[in-house]
Amino acid sequence: MKENSERIVALGVYDSPMAAWADAVGFEIFVIGNSGPMSLFGHKGSTTVKPDELLFMTRAVSRVTEFALIVATMPYMSYVASREEAVRTAAWLVSEGGADCVQCHGNLQTAEFIAAITGAGVPVYAHLGLQSVRKTEQSGYGAKGKNAHDAKRIVDEARAMVDAGVFAIMLEHVPVELTQYIRDLVPVPVISLGSGPEADGIYLVSADLIGYSIFRKPVNAGQFADVKPVIEEALQAYASRVRAGQYPTDDLTRHMDAEELDDFKKLIEEV
């Protein structure tokens, strides 16, 4: 698709209904990322997301997905201690979760571990720029690569990721000029998350896309619907009708046949 200048559309998905609906629409890539447990389980940051939470969400997506490539995010600190641990964790997400490949937040220091994963036969989707697991080190969630020094470092990291054998690179919250440069520099697809339109593909988290999250929409995310008012209205209507004795209605209620009801009354009268 990169060679043919065809736009890649990637989506962050975390549950079976969204995965099934999105797969029917047609997306090239589904990513199960840390933003899933953050949006749906209330984690305030990605460093507290548990491996099992990512595994459960990967299973939920993989069970119903037929077409999209499924990318499961490697848990925090699960691939930076040793090559063996990196390969073991990646294989676990594929064999137990049903993922096709894994996502790693890469840098120059972790490149060797990412190379071990790709060398073992598990494709890797690299994540550069803003990296939520490195929030403290990166001084928050602001844009990355805004100055020449930081931009050069991200370029070096992109080169290292290609050398490590990754099949794609996602750039989060970097200037569009840097996205365009890296897109033209590397042979693998470059996916933009809040990094402008000059990429081989675009990524957006489904929770941000439809407004289904307890957190404020990120400044670098587009929103195409807001389901919160619809859900709130439905919840309010349900609660109000129950309290007013208006729900459930008779058409939603099961009744015993008259003959069976008579037999039941006779049985309980005998007790």
Q: State yes or no: is 28 an active-site residue.
A: no
CA 114/CA 87 separation, integer angstroms: 8
Among 6, 28, 172, 233, which one carries the catalytic annotation? 172
Closest-CA residue to 202 (of 57, 74, 29, 68): 29
- Active site positions, annotated: 172
